Every structure is written in C-alpha cells, then in structure tokens.
Amino acid sequence: MTNTIPEQDQVLIFDTTLRDGEQSPGATMTHQEKLEIAALLDEMGVDIIEAGFPIASEGDFAAVSAIAQQTQRASICGLARASFGDIDRAWEAVKHARRPRIHTFIGTSPLHRDITKLSQDDMAEKIHATVSHARNLCADVQWSPMDATRTEHDYLCRVVEIAIKAGASTINIPDTVGYTAPRESADLIRMLLERVPGADSIVFATHCHNDLGMATANSLAAVEAGARQIECTINGLGERAGNTALEEVVMALKVRNDIMPYRTGIDTTRIMNISRKVATVSGFPVQFNKAIVGKNAFLHESGIHQDGVLKNAETFEIMRPADIGLNETNIVMGKHSGRAALRTKLRDLGYELADNQLNDVFVRFKALADRKKEVYDDDLIALMQDSTTHA
C-alpha cells in the first residue's frame, strides 16, 4: 500500500469540490476552471484532490487526466462505482498522476441494497471483486460504503473488513444524506476501529453532508474518534445543503487546537482566495454570514464591538482576518458605529481631527448612517470635504 498512515495527530484533507461539489445543480465548471482550482488546492496543501468521476462524461475524464498530469504534490483521485468498467476508466484518467488514487463505492444501506437488488452476500462478493480489481491497477485504493450511517452495524463491519482484505487502504464512511449527529458520528468510527480486524492498518475517512447543518461538527467528532481524513469542499459546495466546508474544519482545528490537537497541512492564508475563485466559477455566492469566508465573518459594525476590536482585536475576534488571507479592514461604518471607530477610520483616510471637529463630523456621520445601510470610505471623504468647505 502506498497510502502511508498519517502521524497520530495528522489529519489528511481530501477535497472533493471538483467532484461532489460540482454535483450541485448548476455548479458545472469549465475544463480550464477545474484546472485552475486544482492548482490552487495543490498550492494550499490539500493532500488528496478528488478531481472528478471519469466515467460520467468525456469532459470529466479529460479534466481528471489533465489534473493528474499537472499536479505536483497532492494525490489525484478518480471516482468509480462498483463496476470494472468504471474502475478501468478511473484508472485511465489518474494513472499519470504522481500519486494516483482510485475511489470506488457502493450503497450498502438496506435502501440502497433494495435499489440494486443485491442480497447482503451478493453485495459482499461484488465489493471483494471490485476492490481487488482496483487494487490490481493502483496501489492506493479508497473504498466507500455509501449511506454508511444508515447501514446495519454488523453488515458495515463485514463489508469494511472485506474491502480492507481486498486491498483498500482508506475506508471512507459517508453520511450521504446528512443524517448523523456528532455523538453517533464518533461512535461509528470507534465501533469500526474496535470491531473490524485490520482497521488499525488503514485510514478511516469521514465524508459528511450538511442537510441538518451538522457536517462540520460530525466531521470533527469523527476525527476525535480516530478518523484521519476529512472529505470536504471549498465553501461547503455540494448537492442539496452541501458538503463539509474545508475552511470550517481546517480553521476549527487550528483555532481550537487546545482541545482538538490535530494538524492539517493547509496553508490557511490561501483560504479566502480559493473561496472567491470557487464562488465565481461555480456561480454559487457565499452567504454573507457564512463561517470563515462570508463577507461579514470579520466585520464589526456595533460601536461596542468596534471599540473593543480597536483596543484589542481578541475581544471580538477568535482568529485574525490575515489567518485566512484577508487583509481588508474589518470595521464597517454604519449607524451603530461609535466615535472611536470614526476617529480611527478618518485617521486611516488621512484626517486627524481635534475633539470638537470630531463631534461635528460625528453628528453629520450619524445622520448619513441613518439614511444609508453602510457608510463607505468615499462617503466619509465627501463628509470631510464638506466640513472643510463649510468650516
């Protein structure tokens, strides 16, 4: 197996923006855009890039092959269903990567077994055959029991053991419909580690969807229980309510390293840039109050907060904007802003005011702020020019 087991405290970041993320209705990206995003992911230190689903279309195949050839550092992964045809196609697409990976999956829950009309035994045989086939082609094979969180525990243990014996070195546990909750997510990983022979020689991955808004919490709970790979997307892009957001799990592990002592290889100062790129090319804007990368995530408007932040940023900021590569001002001027913020803002714009001048400008600023939602730098400059004319 080429997939080395990470150090005890290391968590691998598996980005699937280009595969699960692109499955969001309307989020289709062009070939060139996918290449650009893959380059940014590689530069920021993502360990594994799931570049697409090669059997899905000629375009997906071409994008995965091109990403495999251009990528310097990260492993490049292609998705395949449990069929030899899918697996061969995925291998064709990734085989020129420095570090190729095949990711094959099958739905193992009763609902999925009903659809595929496979008995437990027939499915177990299929898993053995397809994982072995992938392993004969590629040294790094990942296997996923889709809908794992709704699969019977005994059956889940049985098929995970089969996949490990057939050569999978990463076992991904998908919460396909965003159904699990943090305690259950942790218990599931713990149960697999305890019950499945050979579980200590492979990496468990957690792959969460956000239907109940718990994807980040569920992923972190899985890590605390022993998972060492988080599957995620930039901005949480993904079908329905999306996938675990890369920026959230990475920053949570960084900011709360005191209680979650795990590290990732991500250069967090590149987060904002790639977030903007993915929002632009996917056409999915980031909600204003989205954790970490939302437009408002570091903005302070209320006077009390602005005053606190100006005196000591830690009063109202648990991380610095620069940590995610945001070098813009974090003070937004509006009707809740106070004198201290106005003085600082005007100083930044080149105006040093005596107290009586500040009082005068403050009154007119408040009147303006009542009329406008946000008062921009240009508005303040106009206010100052107006004061000098009327002085």
* Residue numbers at the binding site for ligand KIV (CB under 6 A): 20, 105, 144, 146, 172, 174, 176, 207, 209
Cα–Cα distance, 371 to 187 (Å, whole number): 54
Question: 146 touches which of Zn ion, ligand KIV, none (CB within 5 to 8 A by kind)?
Answer: ligand KIV
Nearer to Zn ion, 20 or 248 (CB): 20
CB of 139 to ligand KIV, least distance (A): 20
Residue 227 vs 297, nearer CB to Zn ion: 227
Annotated binding site for Mn(2+): 20, 207, 209, 243
> For tokens 């000629």, what's the residue?
58
12-15/170-175 β-pairing:
unpaired
- Name the residue type at position 173: I
Q: In Å, how far are 30, 80, 94 from 70, measured between CA atoms?
A: 16, 21, 11
Q: Which does 144 bind (CB under 5 to 8 A by kind): Zn ion, ligand KIV, none?
A: ligand KIV
Comparing CB distances to Zn ion, the nearer of 106 and 299 is: 106
Q: Which residue is nearest to ligand KIV (CB)?
A: 174
Residue 133's binding partner among Zn ion, ligand KIV, none (Cβ under 5 to 8 angstroms by kind) is none
**Cβ 271 to ligand KIV shortest distance, Å:** 23
Q: Judged by CB, which is closer to ligand KIV: 226, or 238?
A: 238
Q: Cα–Cα distance between 116 and 107 in angstroms, integer? A: 8
Q: Which residue number has the CB closest to Zn ion?
A: 20
Q: Which is nearer to Zn ion, 20 or 22 (CB)?
A: 20
For 25, 210, 229, 323, 353, the CA distances from 141, given in Å and listed in that order, are 28, 26, 14, 34, 66
Q: How far is the CB of 81 from Zn ion (least distance, A)?
A: 13
CA 127, CA 286: separation in Å to the nearest integer? 38
Q: Which of 318, 234, 241, 285 is nearest to 34 (CA)?
A: 234
Least CB distance from residue 151 to ligand KIV, whole Å? 11
**Alpha-carbon gap, residue 28 to 218, rounded angstroms:** 27
| Closest residue by Cα to residue 220 from 249, 244, 245, 191 | 249
Q: How far is the CB of 27 from Zn ion (least distance, A)?
A: 14
Write out the two tokens for 226.
Answer: 């022993």
Q: Given the DSSP bridges, would you call strands 75-81 and 141-146 parallel, antiparallel or unpaired? A: unpaired
CB-based contact 364:332 (threshold 8 Å): no
- In the complex with ligand KIV, the residue whose CB is nearer, 174 or 334, is 174
CA trace torsion 173, 176, 178, 180 (10° rounding): -40
Q: How far is the CB of 81 from ligand KIV (least distance, A)?
A: 9
Amino acid identity, position 19: R
Q: Which of Zn ion, ligand KIV, none does residue 169 bind to, with CB < 5 to 8 Å depending on kind?
A: none
Q: Considering beta carbons, is residue 207 or 335 the nearer one to ligand KIV?
A: 207
290 binds, among Zn ion, ligand KIV, none (CB under 5 to 8 A by kind): none
Site of interaction with Zn ion (CB under 5 A)? 20
Measured CA to CA in angstroms, residue 364 lies from 355, 358, 376, 390 at distances of 15, 10, 14, 13
In whole angstroms, the minimum distance from the beta carbon of 222 to Zn ion comes to 14
Q: Closest CB to ligand KIV among 56 and 255?
A: 56
Smallest distance, ligand KIV to C-beta of residue 207, A: 5
Residues across the chain:
391
Contacted by 105, from Zn ion, ligand KIV, none: CB < 5 to 8 Å by type: ligand KIV
Residues in binding site: 20, 207, 209, 243
Find, among 279, 280, 273, the residue nearest to 242 by Cα.
Answer: 279
Q: Is 193 helix (H, G, I), strand (E, B) or coil?
A: helix
What number of CA atoms fall less than 13 Å from residue 299's CA on the CB side?
A: 14
